[in-house]
Chain A
């Protein structure tokens, strides 16, 4: 992908908040792609974890927001277990989700979960889904 980097393409406020909420320094990422290689959800993702790390490094908030990547993250920690720089990538994913959710926007509306799934699924599925997807 070609990123057009100009004097206004990076959102400094986004970069600052991302660092604050995640506690991770995304500039440590060396773009090796190991995270993408182990991620179980990449088939359905618009951008890969590696690409999200690159976009985060350049503060490209709008491009990140346009992707479904962070919402498909299952927090399985495979990327974190394998990252050669030791970056806790799930925290970066969580921070990006939080920045959206804290605008008081739910990604998943509890009352829109199909009733047959609510009845069928174990509580931990419902609770964790809502923890990750609601404000």
Chain B
């Protein structure tokens, strides 16, 4: 029995269309509809297909024009993760569209595009495919059904005698064919189905294939438009001088020299600092350098990383319980052997390749924003707050994102642009420098963990206590989601420890020292997988057990964890000796509804760690595009490896010490390990793909270093005593 689409009633369609502001069927139009389209062949964007009165647009997701092009609206932001291809694949599958005629367009901000998992139009938490898995396929199936009805009535045959393939309706007996383009105008008049049937997985022709990404051609010839590339008539460019100390405020400034710089148009204060507006970025920056600014540095002016560490130390044993099973204290007292360790990880910047930016044009009657954002709803809300305009007067054009990683779910750069444009009444692009980007991030929280465990005579862990002290992201972003002092993003990856250990406690002490924190690829699991997976290797060593076999034993009852663990170990040749001079480490982690295990092959030479090979196994449920899954594992590994080997933001005098790639370095080509990715076949509901590859890499590498040196790695980035 095929899956019955439940969410797609006629009423649902009406609601969707009304929310998007268009008539129901013919001439469906979304105000401010992005025109940036891409397709597999790299064709130039069509001109205004949305306004074509002959186009068939039965819902907010798809439009078919008489030329037989299928345009899919993508509500999620394309930041490299391939969503501009995977979402159209879902729709094209159920529509039976000719993939070579499918193009994608970024959706405007509208309620119809709310991600069902998040409740906002926001791309984060690896939710795009798993959130839109059903509604987008239903939209494709509904459109298909209407096209079939149009063909059947044209031919005077029952709809059940027709089938569809490659954007054509085919009559089974006569072999007559009509293309979707030919049928578009007629289909637009058909009744929107109350409900639809979805394909069985065995019927998939596109889902599960390595279809080529729609955005790649434009990303090889310079034509892809990122936020920093937005160009408008009369566009001004602004650079903002911010207080270097977190929480500081502007006291006064002298702009006389800045205003004398050729090209500088205006200088004025906004909430985040002093804005220098010019006719180009370079004069804006020169003007900014000529500013004299006095700051009230506020309460954090003496804050340092050492202070923050002290705050963690003092708080760590006073946390609230996030999970408790059995009686770990007594188990520790009675144990044959106990192990204790303190683990620490630093704050991390996101370092998107494209520094933060936003372009806005505020007029009295409306506001238009062009921005590389993960958060369309949030962007609209920020603009409403600043301009006082209602939602329908604020248009958000999402550009390509030069990296996101969670940073672009924030709205600080949006507020800059909207405030400056509102002040001037002109279109303005705000562009951050790399230094601004490094020093004014919402950082991956630093974390401090005190761990204790007990082993029985056989070397098996029987008690586990993990006490966490770290800042809370949710206490700023969504305070209502902090329950009884627990921010789930601070304990994820620790609270859900999958190992069969009878006595277990995880506690959390919230410490917010004043450094802004935010979502960073894989969030809490980025630090907690490192801490728990490395501590488990310490237990294996203490109990004389093989780290892989110990995990395997303790993962009884967790078949998907075990599945990826076994696959990674097998492909890495865990049971054979590592190549000469190399050592292996293994780690497994579940995050964002997916499971990943990695084996790292590492050498340590004269205090230097080199990662030669990483074998990754991933179980992300049903796979939409296996090449995208592989690419995301490669990407997540590099992101996590960069942090593990060299990522550290330190605080001195209330400010970030690092500034650019000089002191906040990135992994480069010459340091790139060979990465192999293996996908566990699965028909489970799709899991996340963008983030789950990051958590296991730091512990896999650290455990390999432990194997090489005999000394556990308890702090990131990995530094060896010489």
Whether A associates with B in a native complex is no
**Chain B residues at the A interface, C-beta cutoff of 8 Å:** none
